[in-house]
Structure 1
Amino acid sequence: MTETFTLLIISATFFLAGSVKGIIGLGLPTVSLGLLTATLDLTTAMALLLIPSFITNIWQAAVGGNAKIIFMRIWPFLCLATITIWLGSTALKIVNPLYLSVLLGVLLIAYAFLNLLGFSLSIRPYNEKWMGLLLGTANGMLTGMTGSFVVPSVMFLQAIGLPRDMFVQAMGMLFSLSTIGLAFSLQKLEFLTPELASISALAVIPSLIGMVLGQRIRKSLSENRFKKIFFISIFILGLFIIGKSAFALKM
């Protein structure tokens, strides 16, 4: 883990992942997991993303000035999405993580494809709380299984009609809490070591540099252009995850 080449790969991975996150508001765990697991195992990659994910998400959650409004609206969803991560993480010792990754990729592709075709999900205010509890639980389980915070949380936050800036800030809040839950679960399962924690801390630097670059690009995008890039990125991430997992399963 301390070889120069490996550290360079980790740095480049988190710079790219941070750039993607800066542009669309998510993707650091998904991109970093997808690239790192080409040379490292899944649980090691999940441990490495913890500190960069937490720091960049805290930053994202703090920007926008709507944190209190967002939290009061979706706190039941946030709580369930966090506390159920440990349930999903138990599957890491039971089920082949590659099968779980394929499932995640399929869900991402379906979500992006429907939105690119013009089919958008909508949750009415009177259904928001119970749907938040249901989808929060599902999101926590999938986070524990795959290390990705995207499905179905992003679907829920989009479906309740948050405008772009609140949407991005809400994702930062959710992902911050999810990172804490994932760190706790990996620690309990003894997948998080002091060495991995140290390397994860160093990976914050390229992640932040990439995120600043990505945020500058996002500010130049219109609302419609942002949505199009967002869903195309989700679609590509899904394809990448499925392709990589399928290749690994054949080996």
Structure 2
Amino acid sequence: MVAVESVAYVAIVFTVAGWVKGVTGMGLPTVAMGALGLVMAPVQAAALLLVPSLVTNVCQFATGPHREAIIRRLLPMMLCVCLGTGVGIGLLTSGSSRWPSVALGGVLAAYALLALFLPRLSVPATAERLLSPVVGAITGVLTGATGVFVVPAVPYLSALGFSKDELVQALGLSFTVSTVALGIAMGTAGSVQPAALAASVATVAPALLGMFVGQRTRNRIAPAKFRRWFFLAMLAVGLYMVARGLLAS
């Protein structure tokens, strides 16, 4: 029998992760993997993440007006995300929790540091055709290895000159494709059991609730201050996971 405390913790994690996504347009997988990775193996956390991530990101991508143009522009990157995920999945599904936890913590810490200290970049149109497949492949490998699909996709997409609404949709597409690729790779490796899938379905409700509340409170929160504290928290969680994994006997 699953402990009530465990169920409550998972529900709270996905509510908070959904709220962050509602406020910022992203953050559900980052928050969920970081918080769940503290109490379970990353492969278990990634299995719980699949359905709520897919549902919330499909909604985010589908509700905007720029779908076809964004798909055409990002298609090479998305194809390479899928290929890279298949390459990196071996670490996440290896059966070990130590090194996937170290990798997950490292990605969370790197993402936080990039967000806090990396200057705003701009990718020229002439370089996009070359860079998009490379960024997609790296993102895919890290997705497969850690279950987190924000690095380097989010900084890169932010540098492509999208409008605010276009960027939200582009992130929705990227996260949707990464979630599908991760689910297929984990399923092929035998790491998604029916019980885990049912539990993932159950986390959709708290994630959507949190997302709804986040959307309603978005304009009441100072964006710069929220962003700073969010990434400082991610940095602390990431460094803790790295230290715990490296110091484990």
Same fold (TM > 0.5): yes
Contact map agreement 1:108 1:235 (CA 8 A) in 2? no
Cα deviations by residue, 1:51-102 (Å, 9 ceiling, x for unpaired): 0110011111112211112112211112211232011111232881123123
* Within-5 A mapping of 1:90-239: 90-92=90-92, 93=94, 96-115=99-118, 119-219=119-219, 226=223, 229-230=226-227, 232-239=229-236
Q: TM-score under structure 1 normalisation? A: 0.90
Contact map agreement 1:77 1:129 (CA 8 A) in 2? no
- Give me the identity figure in percent: 31
- Runs of 4+, deviation exceeding 3 Å: 225-232
Deviation of 1:113 after TM superposition, in Å, equals 2.4
Deviation of 1:132 after TM superposition, in Å, equals 0.4
Structure 1 stretches lacking a partner, 5+ long: none
Structure 2 stretches lacking a partner, 5+ long: none
Contact map agreement 2:103 2:242 (CA 8 A) in 1? no
Residue correspondences, number: 245
Deviation of 1:219 after TM superposition, in Å, equals 4.7
Cα deviations by residue, 1:10-66 (Å, 9 ceiling, x for unpaired): 111100111011111111111111111222221111101100110011111112211
Deviation of 1:233 after TM superposition, in Å, equals 2.6
Letter in 2 for 1:188: T
Give the SS at the match of 2:73: helix
Q: Partners in 1 of 2:168 and 2:226 — Cα distance?
A: 14
Contact map agreement 1:20 1:26 (CA 8 A) in 2? yes
Q: Partners in 2 of 1:113 and 1:82 — Cα distance?
A: 28
Contact map agreement 1:24 1:229 (CA 8 A) in 2? no
Deviation of 1:162 after TM superposition, in Å, equals 1.1
Q: Partners in 2 of 1:227 and 1:82 — Cα distance?
A: 33
**1:241 aligned to 2:244?**
no
